[in-house]
Structure formats: structure tokens, C-alpha cells
Amino acid sequence: MSQFTFKMPDLGEGTVDAEIVAWHTKPGDLVVEDQLIVEVMTDKAAVEVPAPVSGRVVSVTGAPGDKVAVGSPLIVFELSDGAAVPAAAPAPPKAVSAAAPMVAQTVAPPAPAVAQPVARPAAQPAASPAAAKGRVMTSPANRRLAREAGIDLATVAGSGPGGRILRADLQTGAPRETPADAADTTEIKVIGLRRLIAERMSEAKRTIPHFAYVEEVDVTELESLREHLNHSRPKDAGSLSYLPLVVMALTRVLESFPQCNVLYDAARGVLVRHRAMHVGIATQTSDGLKVPVVRDAQSLALWEMAAEIRRLAERARSNKATREELVGSTITVTSLGKLGGIASTPIINAPEVAIIGLNKAVERPVVAQGAVVVRRIMNLSSSFDHRFVDGYDAAAMIQALKERLEHPATIFIPTVKSS
């Protein structure tokens, strides 16, 4: 028998490490060449890594949530006598999807993290040899981790040389003294897509000076148009929501406000203004928030727009969206539909400079020409990067969008450019 150590492969695009998302094998398992063994995530993509050889798994490196450097040992195989050992690097792993810039542009998600109940163990395992001698062998970092987690190192059986306690020993159910109500709590490790969302949301909020602008829009006429179009919609077309109408109106408005259809390249200190309008549609899925992109939205007719938004949302929710469908937006629209509330303050999808949020449409009493009437009102909640979009320009853009939505026939009229 011989052993083969498979190292974390180079996943491209300058990747230096990858996060373990889910192991699909464990020590002792027999695997065959090209069988999926592990899912990992880089800052660019979720990647499925296949086995480079057939054999028995001896050991694996890292638990879900751990990062492994490119070129470091990932998994060790025991090969049968005469089995061939790869002479060169195996074919690049398959990227199942790519991470896109945030509010929520992210990757096609890996398997969700498993919630592990925290409960008082029934029996304590034998202490490590080091602990039995009155001393515990482990690193300062592990001591700090144990202290923060409330773990008594003297009760942990170390799996390292001479009973040394490794980080993995602290992450795989090491015994600890817990509060009396610990059985009523659940710990969920933040990994994969949720970790990526958290990091990018935090980065966007920390680095971008957001300012919010909320405007009330009377969508009574828009609702009448929507109902009319739904009654006469093309065969096989889905029901029309406000979203395609708002996106179409936005593309008309951006023709007059190109400074809101830009990306900020922080590394070069350059604003990249786009002529095409690639509109990101923030989409809630069971695995987190994703932002599939309607490319060249300005060139789509209404039913084409509706069909494309529906197609992309379905692909995002079923984890079938490709990298090209999840990256490259120049401005984002987000909507919680009937859960939209009165107002919100959406986080900008960096490196964009603007995001438009749709709140729920409800009937309210309003004063019109001296009389109280019932109208359908919807608030638009927008956020802008104050470094590059002045308050006046942001307000002017939202007012122009409001005008189009309140007079929906103008949604279908391109902006007339002055000579």
C-alpha cells in the first residue's frame, strides 16, 4: 500500500486559499477517481473538487468554515498496490458559480451549515496525556479559543503528537461545561455563502458613506396598467409584477443620470461609467441573498424584461445560475414584495454607487385637489454613495423615476436628449 497526498489545487484568479464548505467523504471511505470529495469556496466562486485518484481516505484537512491555503495538504489517500499516482496536477475543479459584488450578489450556495445543538455531554472522555501529567500541550491561539468558548482544556483528548490539542479537537464536539439552559440553544457556524454575505455587507457599509433618500410614489395608474396587461398578457407569460415596470422606468431615467450607472474601481481610484444598463435584481433564496443580472436591460421590451427577471430568479433559487448571470451589474434594484414595509435603507452593492428599493404598495387616504381620496402608494427607498453622487442629483433621479411611475405611459417613451 502507498499513500498519496492531494493538496489544495490552484483555483485560479489569484486565489491563495479556499474555505471548506462541506466534505462529501470522511476517513475510512473508499472513493473512486472523479468522485466529488469536497466543496470549497473562494472569494470568487463555489467549487466542487473531485478525487484525483481511487483509494481509501486516510485523513482530511479542515472542518467546514476552515480555510486551507493553496498547495497545502487537503486529503490523504491510501492507494492499492500498483495504483497509479498522478504525475501532474489534476484538471481544474468545477466552479459551480461565482461570487458577485454585494448587497447580496453572491455565489451559487453550497450545502447549508448544519446546526449543532450544544448540550452537556453524558460522560467526559479521558483527558489527554498532557493533561494527565498536569500540563496541557497546545498553542496560545488554541488556549485563547478555548477560553472564549468556555472549554476546559483538561477535558479535551488531543489528537496531535503526544496528546497535543489541535484546533480540530476544539471544533469537533470537545466537552465543555455549559450553562444550565445550554440544551435549549443551538450554535450555527457561519460558513460559506452566509459568511461571504456577512463579509461583503460589512465591507460595503464600512467603506461606503451611504445616504438614504425615500420618496412616496402614487402607483394607482401603474396598478391599473399592470392589471390590464395581466388580463391581456401573451400566452405562457407569467403574471406581471411592479418590478419589470420599475426596472424599465429606471433604464429610461438613467439615460439622464449616467453618474448613477457607474462602478468605482477603488484600486485605481477611477469611476467606470457604463453606457449599457446591467440591472442587478436582489433575490432572496433559501441559501442567502443573490443578485442575478439583467444584462442590457435598456434594450428589452416589457414582457422580455419580465421573462428575464423571472428566469434569473428561478435559476438563482435553484442554484443553477452561472457566474456570468451573477456578476457585472451596474445598479441594483431590491424588493421585498408584500413584506416591503414602509421604508428601508438598502446597502449599496459595491462597487456600484446606487441601489433602489421597492416597498409594499398600499391604499392610503391622500389629499388631491382639496379632496380626500384613496390612492395606492408605494415608497421608493434608495441609497447612494455620497462620495460620487451628490444629494441633489440623487433626489433629481428619484423624482424623475417617480414621474415615470406616476404617468406609466412615459415608461415606454425613451428619453429625448437635448442637442
3-state secondary structure the chain: CEEEEEECCCCCCCCCEEEEEEECCCCCCEECCCCEEEEEECCCEEEEEECCCCEEEEEECCCCCCEEECCCEEEEEEECCCCCCCCCCCCCCEEEEECCCCCCCCCCCCCCCCCEECCCCCCCCCCCHHHHCCCCCCCHHHHHHHHHHCCCHHHCCCCCHHHCCCHHHHHCCCCCCCCCCHHHCEECCCCHHHHHHHHHHHHHHHHCCEEEEEEEEECHHHHHHHHHHHHCCCCCCCCCCHHHHHHHHHHHHHCCCHHHCEEEECCCCEEEECCCCCEEEEEEECCEEECCEECCHHHCCHHHHHHHHHHHHHHHHCCCCCHHHHCCCCEEEEECHHHCCCCCCCCCCCCECEEEEEEEEEEEEEEECCEEEEEEEEEEEEEEECCCCCHHHHHHHHHHHHHHHHCHHHHHCCCCCCC
Name the pLDDT band for 171 (thresholds 50, 70, 90): low
Q: How confident is the model at residue 114 (pLDDT cuts 50, 70, 90)?
A: very low
Of 86-100, 155-169, 194-208, 349-363, the range with the lowest mean pLDDT is: 86-100
Q: What is the residue-averaged pLDDT of the chain?
A: 83
Higher pLDDT, 108 or 128: 128
* % the chain with pLDDT above 70: 81
Confirm if 192 and 378 have CB atoms less than 8 A apart.
no
Distance CA 395, CA 227 (A): 29
Place of cell 498547495: 71
Maximum mean pLDDT: which of 64-73, 158-167, 397-406 = 397-406
Query: What pLDDT is recorded for position 188?
Result: 80
Catalogue the active-site residues.
386, 390
pTM of the model: 0.65
Mean pLDDT across 160-166: 75
Tens of pLDDT along 370-404? 999 999 999 999 999 999 999 999 999 999 999 99
